Amino acid sequence: MRKSKTWLASACSLLLLGSSAVTQAQTTNFLVDQFDTDNSARFGNLGWGTAIPSLSWDGTLNKTTTLGPNTAGSGSLKWDIDWSANPPNDQVVVVRTFPNNAVLNLVNYTNISFDIRFDPAAATDGKGSFGGVEVDWTPQADGWLSTYQGKAVLYTTNSGWVHVEIPFDAASNPNLQAVTQIGFKIQQSGTGSALTGISTFWLDNIILHARAAVIPPPVLALAPVTTPPGLMVVAPGGGNTYRRSMIRTLDSALGSPYYSWVGQGNTPVTYSLTIASYPKTSYYFQSQIFLVPNGGNDTSIDYVAPTVIALDIRNQPDGTATAAFRYKTDHAYANASDYQPALIVCSNGVLGTWSMTFLNDTNVSVKAPNGATTNFVLPEAAALAFYNPLSVYFGNMQNGAGNAGQQATYSRVQVKGVAISPEIDETFAGPDLNPDALNPLWRVVCDVPSSVFIVRPDHKYWVSWSIPDSGFSLRSSPNLATGSWVDPGLTNVVNTTLGNRLLIPQSSLPSAHSGYFRMVKPGP
């Protein structure tokens, strides 16, 4: 039988019991590509821009390295990018799946490095730079190149090969504990001024540096649930610092949701969100209601979609809160801030019900929890752009890496007055967001779906632990006796870059009077 080494924490008294040491095997440098042979076909253009890179293997130009082997006949990857297709705001994004389809835990590495050499005649930004080369990751959980790592700016004074190292600490981002691809992005205006001409450079020795130090085991903590029941939406951190975490309306009967106010005449249509708990000190943390014609499941729907209304709600340093009504029409890939006809202030703070009501297509009223209102008229052409089908989104926007782990609870959302899809009066009684799986009412729209969930009245405790936690699993026991530890059978782990957490319902406590939790990782 294999023995396990564990880290222990109590479940009810908050008394940390201690831990045993956890050892890990030494990781070696991971060679993404040294271009010993023609691997140019393994680099795929994602087509995020208009410019199309020409990638080819150059067996005549090679950079030796001390980080990996130096094979005779090795070469490099030559890039040629013509920026004339869509000046001055184009970009090229190329992705490379890891050799042998490896899934890497980046906790085991400390740096990503590569060697790069620009042709002296390559395009410049006119200010002494060849531009910036950005590194991004594809987490297995996301399935796309979602996570920015860093950028190196290369200057015209850099003659010959330049060695670039970008350090990272993947322990702060659970998505980086299972990564499948690396990406390279070159933006035409990445340094603030547009590149003009053709960028020509060579890339070699893409290598992940192994971590030498032993990684400590996770540390557990326990705390009572102090927030009210409802829909909790947590800012997961990592990736895009403006990450949205939302739910959107569905209509399984019609196939598409028909929640537009347009055409309802003198019947008022109201969209409202009731905030039950909120971060006290994170003033850029945002709650929102989005209205999007033909809205889909893009996690940046308010940016990607061409036509959007956004009610942007935030608390303020002086204890007040504001809601801005913003919209755009026919303007894809831009923030929904082409027009802002209203800003309302709530002197009582952010908690309570925020709503926007539409009447006769163009008349709009926005109301704050303290009863303050503002009224305005939409241009008729703008209002008609929001005809059905139309989806409604409720949730959070992280707005900055410092808000990772912050959370809000919503006790009620409503859509009243619509005539086609059914009215909504959702209080999130649970047990899950969609109790009837065959007729779902909601779709989670979030890069980290575990960060959107229902807190029920029977949820009594949070068990939380630090990351990295790769290979560890949770066990519980009513006492500390050997052999009494069992898997509590809980899977609703909330992942954030600050650590992971798990709600413990009353029924899952090990006993009525005492209980303990620990993390277990099988030993070698």
Tell me: do 165 and 268 sit in the same domain: no
Domain of 405 in residue numbering reads as 230-455
Tell me: do 197 and 155 sit in the same domain: yes
Write the CA distances from 69 to 82, 162, 205, 211, integer angstroms: 33, 18, 10, 19
Rounded to an integer, the average pLDDT of 384-410 is 92
Tell me: do 55 and 74 sit in the same domain: yes
Q: Per-residue pLDDT tens for 40-97?
A: 999 999 999 999 999 999 999 999 999 999 999 999 999 999 999 888 889 999 999 9
Q: What is the pLDDT of residue 523?
A: 59
Residue at a domain's end among 455, 486, 507: 455
pLDDT at 313 over 50: yes
Highest mean pLDDT: which range of 156-160, 240-244, 341-345, 397-401: 341-345
Q: Which amino acid is at 41?
A: A
Tell me: do 362 and 415 sit in the same domain: yes
Give me the number of domains the chain comprises: 3
Residue at a domain's end among 455, 479, 497: 455
Tell me: do 261 and 409 sit in the same domain: yes
Q: Per-residue pLDDT tens for 357-380?
A: 999 999 999 999 999 999 999 999
For every residue of 21-56, DSSP letters joined together read ----PPPPPEEEE--SS--GGGEEE---SS---EEE
Q: What is the pLDDT of residue 240?
A: 63
Rounded to an integer, the average pLDDT of 434-459 is 91
Q: Per-residue pLDDT tens for 167-217?
A: 988 887 888 989 999 999 999 998 888 999 999 999 999 999 998 866 778
Q: What is the pLDDT of residue 512?
A: 74
pLDDT at 18 over 50: no
pLDDT at 246 over 90: yes
Tell me: do 392 and 508 sit in the same domain: no
Tell me: do 355 and 258 sit in the same domain: yes
Q: Which residues of 74-98 are buried (b: 16+ CB within 10 A; e: fewer)?
A: bbbbbbebebeeeeeebbbbbbbeb
Residue at a domain's end among 210, 242, 273: 210
Tell me: do 296 and 445 sit in the same domain: yes
Q: What is the pLDDT of residue 19?
A: 32
Tell me: do 438 and 472 sit in the same domain: no
CATH number at residue 104: 2.60.120.260
Rounded to an integer, the average pLDDT of 10-29 is 43
Tell me: do 127 and 263 sit in the same domain: no
Tell me: do 398 and 509 sit in the same domain: no
pLDDT at 478 over 70: yes
* CA-wise closest residue to 176 among 139, 134, 222: 139
Residue of higher predicted confidence among 491 and 1: 491
